[in-house]
Amino acid sequence: MPSDIKETSRRKPQQLRGEQRMAAMLDAAAGVFAESGFDAATMTAIAERSGSSIGALYQYFPNKLTLARALRERYGDEMSRRWTGLVADAAQLSIVALVDRIFDLMIGFFDEHPAYFTLLNATLGYQRDAGARQRLRAKLGAVLREKKPELDEAEALRLANVSLQIVKGLNPLYEQASPAERRELVAEFKLALASYLKVRLHR
């Protein structure tokens, strides 16, 4: 998810106070995007929620699109940190426990960041960095090699690619489902990924 947007498109905070103000603006934007949708959200509403003047908001984020892209970038960084923690724990987990952790990580992220799906579906002119995609695959490949050390790097990466496609397949279904149906969908996707990995990792 980290983007390739140019940092020169918005003012950089030069001190802690500026960083805190920018973080508050992003938090406010997330709330407004989640409640109103990207198209209906306004810079005025975001400024009001963040406790900033509209002028201050425009200093850091020239437009709503820049705000949305910065929020996507923040989400990508957070997701990367969560995956790093999973890699560290993988060797001690069974396949079923590993799959539970993978989906629990994703579902926890969705629930904590309701603006995620809004931004995922918005037309942001956003291109995810190919390097970021590769890093995520490499992290999952590292997890799989923890479970089966004899996997070579290429095979682990191929299994990681397939596994990630299974995980990503949940996104559009989860977004549209009721809370009760979401639980059932997660269980089905956990079963699919666990079954695949048990066969491929011979566990």
Please answer whether residues 76 and 174 qualify as being in contact, where contact means their C-beta atoms are separated by less than 8 angstroms.
no
pLDDT above 70 (res 196): yes
- The mean predicted confidence, pLDDT, of the chain is 87
* pLDDT at site 1: 44
Given this model, what pLDDT does residue 194 score?
Answer: 97
Burial category of 119 from C-beta neighbours within 10 Å (exposed 0-12, middle 13-18, buried 19 and up): buried
Look at residue 4 and tell me whether its pLDDT is greater than 70: no
**6-10, 69-73, 123-127, 162-166: lowest mean pLDDT where?**
6-10
What is the token pair recorded at 196?
A: 């695949």
CA angle at 37 for the pair 8 and 2, rounded to the nearest 5°: 35
> Once rounded to an integer, what is the mean pLDDT over residues 61-90?
88
For residue range 26-55, list pLDDT tens digits in order. Answer: 999 999 999 999 999 999 999 999 999 999
% residues pLDDT > 90 (the chain): 59
How far from each other are the two terminal CA atoms of the chain, in whole angstroms? Answer: 31
The per-residue b/e assignment along 165-180, b for 16 or more CB within 10 angstroms, e otherwise, is ebbeebeeebeeeeee
Superfamily of domain 7-201: Tetracycline Repressor, domain 2 (1.10.357.10)
Work out the burial of residue 34: count CB atoms within 10 Å of its CB; fewer than 13 is exposed, 13-18 middle, 19 or more buried.
Answer: middle
3 and 76 in contact (C-beta within 8 Å)?
yes
Of 14-18, 95-99, 148-152, the least confident: 14-18
Torsion of CA 110, 37, 135, 148, to 10 degrees: 30
| Tokens standing for residue 6 | 């140019």
Q: How many angstroms separate the CA atoms of 59 and 12, rounded?
A: 9
Query: 132 pLDDT exceeds 50?
Result: yes
Distances 80 to 60, 105, 179, 198 between C-alpha atoms, Å: 25, 11, 26, 25
